[in-house]
Structure 1
Amino acid sequence: MSMIEVEDLRKNYGAFRALRGVDFTVDTGEILGFLGPNGAGKTTTMKILTGFLNPTAGRAVVAGHNVLEDSVEVRRRIGYLPENTPLYDDMTVKEYLRYCGRLRRMGGTWLADRIATVVGMTALHPKYRAPIKTLSKGYRQRVGIAQALLHEPEIIILDEPTVGLDPNQVVDVRSLIREVGEHRTVIICSHILPEVEATCGRVVIIHEGVIVANGSAEVLKSEHSARTMFDVSARGEVDDLVVAVGNVSGVAGVAATGHAGGLASVRFESALGELDMGPAVTNAVSGAGLQLVSMVPQRASLEDIFRSLTQVEES
């Protein structure tokens, strides 16, 4: 069952078309990675989903509620962590969470119980009575996640949840996101691709206001691996290796990648597989008087796919 449905979503700012017919769904209990370069439409899409921005055209439904017709009900069902969490440094963690709860009209036993629950989930006990201004980046991020979870939302939207965290903090936040995702729908907006790949079951990539990829990391790698990348090493001069490999039929984009200790290395792309390219490259390298050491195919990473799909804007 879809918790979020987005159909032909469009948003214009004057003549600029920020969203140009965005379509995607997010299932109940799914952890979705929403990726895109700066200016691609990520923030605009999230603002529409959270009810803070009206679309020019199209339809967005959150937990059965249309964002245009019932934005208040939509907001009740969403917990949101913006990239720069709006914390109040003069408050303690306890005071801040109580303040957030009251803004959402929570109170009494319900608020007290929920604060205790989210403090436990985010491991904030050691800093519960500490002023927010004294907290590290990692603890500040935990406070932001705690406020997003406070009112028991069905959907959590996290914008760059691991930016600025050290490796140990990243592991902790990743574990927390997975725990949250067991019972809720989660959308993670991020540019840290390995983090998204490690956490999210599915990835949506938006570029220039259009969805350009939608699927699991493994599916995207399979779909976008029509061209295989190879790393070749041989004993000899790197310029000779570039020429030898470049003359092989089916080879494209040969580039030198290193030359040390008499070992030259190049990388190239081909639409052909290893069984087709192996003999031809071996013969070409040997024919140039070089000694082939290795030829290793490299499967496209999520970062490779992201760059290939957004290269116009990134160039």
Structure 2
Amino acid sequence: MAALIEIERLTKRFGAFTAVDDVSFTVGRGEVVGFLGPNGAGKSTTMKMLAGFVTPTAGTARICGKDVVDHPVAAKRSLGYLPEGAPTYPEMTVSAFLAFCARIRGYRGIELGERVEDAVQLTQLEGVRLQPIETLSKGFKRRVGLAQSLLHDPPVLVLDEPTDGLDPNQKHEVRQLIRRMAPEKAILISTHILEEVEAVCTRAIVIAHGRVLADATPKALEQPGKTLDQVFRELTTAPREAA
């Protein structure tokens, strides 16, 4: 199984504070990896470094073999990224925003229209495609962000809280979409929802205080007499050890 995401000893410091501390893992094609941790654990910072939006203090990250610092454009061609908050241009309609994103990706003419149409269908945005994004609910805004990450059918998806703000039906639809895409992609999902990990992930990485505490299948993380939720709480509430 080829590793499409490679993270080696990735570290990020903000002054005296270490947000991500010597993190290493890989994600291969066909894997959906849940990146689990409490708020402030370092999940989003790790994803931002992988996506090329934050420069690492130390360590390396590669997407499809391309270093995100040394070859950022090549790495981003293979990446679909849904950031925290999914920033958009609120005055644009859904269709106009997705067309804008497609043009940035280099698409023109018929192919541009096809890419936008596919993304709208995948994320079930047909009913709101002509609405300004600022008029949408939080859940629909999140789906617009997901749609832009899928426009170019990338082999790697990095999704930060993809179901945040969605209602139960929308969450189910997004999880089904992730399962359908999984065989052909490497997918990294940041979440704090254990139900999501059990529903779609083939592997779970638990992080707290910027450090990886566990990396195993959801089933393997379970312990006799304890639920996955109990194991997660024990791992992530333990005091941070001195370096």
TM-score, normalising length: structure 1: 0.72
| Counterpart in the other structure of 1:115 | 116
Higher relative CO (Cα under 8 Å, sequence separation at least 6) belongs to 2
1:9-158 alignment, distance < 5 Å? 9-158=10-159
Extract unaligned runs of 5+ from structure 2.
none
Extract unaligned runs of 5+ from structure 1.
229-298
Deviations 1:128-149 (A, max 9, x none): 2222233233322221111110
Aligned residue for 1:75, secondary structure, equals helix
* Conserved 8 A contact 2:155-2:186: yes
* Conserved 8 A contact 1:51-1:67: yes
* Conserved 8 A contact 2:139-2:164: no
Q: Which moved more, 1:33-42 or 1:129-138?
A: 129-138
| Counterpart in the other structure of 1:264 | none
Aligned residue for 2:140, secondary structure, equals helix
Identity of aligned residues (%): 47
Q: Distance in 1 between matches of 2:148 and 2:123?
A: 10
Deviations 1:86-131 (A, max 9, x none): 1223221111111111222322222111111111211222222222
Q: Distance in 2 between matches of 1:17 and 1:129?
A: 44
Q: Select the structure of larger CA radius of gyration.
A: 1
CA RMSD in angstroms, aligned pairs only: 1.7
User: Larger strand proportion, structure 1 or 2?
Assistant: 1
TM-score, normalising length: structure 2: 0.92
Q: Distance in 1 between matches of 2:49 and 2:88?
A: 23
Q: Which moved more, 1:130-139 or 1:115-124?
A: 130-139
Deviation of 1:208 after TM superposition, in Å, equals 1.3
Q: Does 1:8 align with 2:29?
A: no
1:139-288 alignment, distance < 5 Å? 139-221=140-222, 225=223, 228=224
Q: Distance in 2 between matches of 1:89 and 1:20?
A: 35
Q: Partner letter of residue 5 of structure 2?
A: I
Q: Does 1:300 align with 2:219?
A: no
